[in-house]
């Protein structure tokens, strides 16, 4: 979806690259909006942060599915770690998560979270 942006950002010629990270991010956001408008945005390619920003009350199954895909755009912290910590902010919520998705799936998430942390 973002091949043009990636090619420009990694161009061998410095003059052809984005002037800075802010410029890249602005162009990325524009491209992302175009993809959404065209209906080509696949919800499974969202980051955990994007999912939770768009729907804080997302089901545990969808939370787990997106979390385990581990899509990162900006940084592990912003796209995965901080949103997961915010969603799983206390033991009662964690127990509910485990009950809904099962212990094995929860352990898989915990291992991934630990690796990324």
DSSP 7-35: HHHT-SSGGGS-SSHHHHHHHHHHHHHHH
Q: What are the sequence ranges of the domains in the chain?
A: 3-37, 43-116
In contact, 98 and 106? CB cutoff 8 Å: yes
Question: Using one digit for the tens of pLDDT, what is the confidence trace for 11-29?
Answer: 888 888 889 999 988 888 8
Predicted pLDDT at 38:
60
pTM equals: 0.63
Evaluate the CA torsion angle 72, 42, 11, 27 in order and state its sign. Answer: negative
φ/ψ of residue 85, rounded to 5: -65, -40
Summarize pLDDT for 35-89 with one digit per residue, the tens. 666 655 556 678 999 999 988 898 998 899 899 989 888 899 999 999 999 999 9
């Amino acid at each position: 979806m973002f091949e043009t942006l990636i090619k420009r950002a990694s161009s061998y010629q410095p003059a052809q690259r984005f002037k800075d990270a802010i410029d890249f991010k602005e162009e990325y956001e524009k491209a992302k909006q175009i993809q959404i408008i065209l209906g080509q945005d696949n919800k499974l390619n969202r980051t955990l942060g994007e999912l939770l920003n768009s729907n804080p009350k997302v089901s545990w199954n969808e939370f787990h599915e997106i979390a385990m895909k581990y899509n990162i755009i900006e940084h592990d912290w912003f796209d995965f770690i901080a949103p997961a910590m915010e969603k799983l902010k206390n033991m009662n919520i964690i127990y509910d998560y485990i009950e809904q998705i099962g212990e094995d799936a929860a352990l898989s998430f915990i291992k991934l979270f630990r690796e990324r942390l």
